[in-house]
């Protein structure tokens, strides 16, 4: 690599050639042709980077935080004044992010979409009846419970099989009613009327009311700690949509991508953005790239608060770090060695850098103004750009063969490992008991993603703020999900008659003819309960009004 003296001499020769006007019509640059920003000139000058020639301390310091300011706001939940933490259950915390009037709105939009479909087909759907906010809430509660007890097909929850069937589902609504609600479910019916080639069309319009409300409530009812992480989140989907992304390194290789911002300590998600590809390309993205524009968009409400932002190499850049520093946002992120504006000695292949840092734990750091770039050998070269922490070494435990050894690690990298996983931990909780059922409609996956994020955030706030007394010694995430689903369902039932289970067959008492009579019942034909116990399907209109069940003549005589 050329030395700085050789670089300066080459630069002088270039200026001599440009300033030599003999034999040329070129008269030099005017003042209007040259960028007036001295900062941009400094960024392009690699000579501004200087090595951090600190002496290695005799004792590694575990608590060296530097003099970087931190956020002065008190972190944690900011629940409403009338919120009772001593009695509030999972549904109360969930309702902080999804208000009750949202269920009424979804019910209105669902009814409007059902009416629209029937009008377009010019045919009435005899199996459909209008829904209500209470029924929509119970429907979503069933979908949340499905995440805690998954089945391959939704019909399995209504089976009579002792191992597959779920008696609780049968008491809430029939299988056919659940299917009809799934068919006509809509959050924004007006979006269904906008064709895809219309300029007003946008993929998020299908769920925009819920999308906007949850994003606002996430920010309103929770205050971040100083440390924040930004990363991508995926919702698996293999259907046909312009939103589908292919991420070969992810567990879910095909899906819909979101950009998420989470708390680095608690993993609470405070903001998220649907990635729509080239559709929403902004001037900032065209100038600085996608990674820069995502971070810029997700940090507009953090300006001036002295937060520390952690992100991976997709977002990291010297320009981004400098711009965020001007807004009192400090950054720390891994970076590729081939990124522009990095120190020239570090813009090498990792194999070359590994020869410069031969031993595990070796590191080198370069400084420019308030920004540092540190490279560290951890069996592989790790490079990081940071202005919120020092590059001084701290203790790091590593496995070497069968022994655990202490290796020096730059504190900036130690902080990155501690606070970068906010989005990943939130993803783990979201996927653990993911709600909803498979569908061909892409927007339903966005709906389930939003509800899962609300569920996880409610669980995190519950763990942090709740003072409720419960009998269980250990209240798990699964307990929270089941109790949330039960509370959303409540005592709702859309069944017109009580379901008679096989376990209630002894109610038929032989030779009991008092107050029992065999006659034709009102309503539709239904299955004979006596034949049903014997696994015989027979539909009849007769039965016993006292028992309130349908029976054929033979079954009535055999049991009365």
Chain segment 456-469, per-residue pLDDT in tens: 999 999 999 999 98
**Could you give the CA distance from residue 308 to residue 304 in angstroms, rounded to a whole number?**
11
pTM score, whole prediction: 0.79
Percent of the chain as helix, strand, coil, to the nearest 5: 40, 15, 40
Task: Dig out the tokens for 295 from the structure.
Answer: 């971070």
Q: How confident is the model at residue 410 (pLDDT cuts 50, 70, 90)?
A: very high
At 331 the pLDDT is 96
256 phi and psi angles, rounded to 5 deg: -100, 130
Of the listed ranges 78-92, 212-226, 541-555, the least confidently predicted one is 541-555
pLDDT of 36 strictly over 50: no
Of the listed ranges 97-106, 185-194, 306-315, 512-521, the least confidently predicted one is 512-521
At 63 the pLDDT is 40
**Could you give the CA distance from residue 145 to residue 154 in angstroms, rounded to a whole number?**
12
Residue 341 CA: distances (Å) to CA of 316, 388, 479: 12, 19, 51
pLDDT of 15 strictly over 70: no
Residue 67 CA: distances (Å) to CA of 227, 350, 390, 399, 416: 15, 31, 9, 32, 17
| Mean pLDDT, the chain, whole residue set | 85
Q: How confident is the model at residue 369 (pLDDT cuts 50, 70, 90)?
A: confident
Of the listed ranges 75-79, 255-259, 278-282, the least confidently predicted one is 278-282
**Could you give the CA distance from residue 66 to residue 431 in angstroms, rounded to a whole number?**
37
pLDDT of 417 strictly over 60: yes
At 306 the pLDDT is 95
Closest CA to 459 of 489, 423, 483, 438: 483
At 425 the pLDDT is 96
pLDDT of 176 strictly over 50: yes
Neighbours of 361 (CB within 10 A): 17
| Choice between 272 and 550, residue whose per-residue pLDDT is larger | 272
121: CB partners within 8 A, 6+ apart:
none
Q: DSSP secondary-structure letter at 255? A: E
Q: Pairing between strand 269-274 and 307-311?
A: unpaired
| Choice between 341 and 295, residue whose per-residue pLDDT is larger | 295
Collapsing DSSP states into helix, strand and coil, what is residue 270?
strand
Neighbours of 398 (CB within 10 A): 14
Q: How confident is the model at residue 80 (pLDDT cuts 50, 70, 90)?
A: very high
At 318 the pLDDT is 94
At 431 the pLDDT is 95
Task: Dig out the tokens for 419 from the structure.
Answer: 């606070």
Closest CA to 391 of 380, 383, 381: 383
**Could you give the CA distance from residue 400 to residue 395 in angstroms, rounded to a whole number?**
15
In the block, which residue shows the tokens 């549904």?
91
Closest CA to 45 of 336, 307, 341, 325: 341
At 523 the pLDDT is 80
pLDDT of 535 strictly over 60: yes
Residue range 67-77: mean pLDDT, rounded: 90
Sign of CA dihedral 74, 79, 82, 84: negative
Q: How confident is the model at residue 156 (pLDDT cuts 50, 70, 90)?
A: very high
């Amino acid at each position: 690599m050329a030395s700085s003296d050789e670089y300066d001499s080459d630069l002088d020769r270039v200026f001599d050639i440009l300033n030599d006007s003999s034999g040329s019509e070129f008269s030099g640059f005017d003042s209007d042709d040259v960028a007036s920003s001295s900062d941009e000139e400094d960024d392009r000058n690699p000579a501004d980077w200087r090595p951090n020639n600190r002496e290695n301390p005799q004792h590694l310091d575990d608590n060296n935080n530097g003099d970087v300011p931190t956020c002065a706001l008190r972190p944690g939940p900011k629940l409403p004044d009338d919120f009772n933490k001593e009695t509030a259950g999972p549904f109360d915390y969930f309702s902080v992010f999804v208000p009750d009037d949202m269920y009424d709105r979804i019910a209105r939009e669902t009814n409007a979409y059902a009416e629209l479909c029937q009008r377009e087909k010019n045919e009435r759907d005899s199996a459909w009846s209008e829904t209500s906010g209470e029924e929509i809430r119970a429907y979503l509660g069933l979908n949340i419970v499905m995440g805690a007890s998954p089945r391959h097909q939704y019909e399995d929850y209504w089976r009579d099989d002792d191992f597959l069937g779920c008696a609780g589902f049968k008491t809430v609504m029939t299988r056919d009613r659940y299917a009809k609600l799934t068919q006509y479910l809509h959050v924004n019916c007006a979006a269904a009327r906008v064709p895809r080639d219309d300029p007003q069309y946008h993929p998020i319009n299908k769920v925009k009311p819920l999308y906007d409300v949850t994003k606002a409530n996430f920010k309103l009812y929770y205050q971040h700690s100083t440390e924040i992480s930004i990363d991508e989140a995926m919702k698996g989907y293999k259907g046909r949509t312009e939103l589908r992304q292919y991420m070969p390194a992810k567990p879910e290789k095909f899906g819909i991508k979101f950009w998420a911002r989470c708390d680095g300590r608690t993993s609470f998600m405070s903001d998220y953005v649907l990635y729509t590809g080239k559709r929403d390309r902004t001037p900032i993205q065209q100038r600085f790239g996608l990674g820069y524009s995502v971070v810029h968009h997700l940090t507009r409400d953090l300006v001036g608060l002295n937060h520390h932002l952690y992100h991976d190499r997709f977002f990291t850049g010297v320009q981004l770090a400098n711009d965020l520093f001007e807004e009192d946002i400090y950054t720390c992120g891994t970076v590729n060695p081939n990124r522009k504006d990095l120190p020239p000695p570090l813009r090498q292949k990792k194999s070359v850098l590994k020869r410069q840092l031969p031993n595990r734990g070796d590191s080198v750091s370069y400084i420019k103004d308030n920004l540092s770039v540190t490279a560290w050998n951890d069996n592989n070269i790790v490079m990081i750009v940071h202005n919120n922490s020092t590059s001084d070494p701290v203790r790091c435990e590593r496995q070497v063969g069968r022994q655990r050894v202490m290796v020096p690690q730059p504190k900036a990298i130690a902080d990155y490992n501690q606070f970068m996983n906010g989005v990943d931990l939130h993803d783990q909780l979201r996927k653990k008991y993911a709600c909803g059922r498979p569908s061909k409609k892409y927007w339903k996956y966005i709906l389930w993603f939003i509800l899962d994020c609300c569920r996880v955030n409610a669980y995190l706030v519950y763990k942090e703020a709740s003072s409720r007394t419960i009998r269980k010694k250990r209240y798990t995430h699964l307990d929270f999900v089941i109790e949330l689903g039960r509370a959303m369902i409540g005592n709702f039932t859309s069944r017109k008659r009580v379901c008679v289970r096989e376990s209630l067959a002894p109610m038929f008492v032989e030779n009991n003819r008092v107050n029992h009579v065999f006659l034709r019942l009102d309503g539709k034909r239904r299955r004979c309960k006596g034949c049903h116990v014997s696994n015989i399907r027979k539909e009849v209109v007769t039965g016993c009004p006292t028992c309130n069940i349908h029976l054929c003549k033979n079954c009535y005589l055999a049991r009365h």
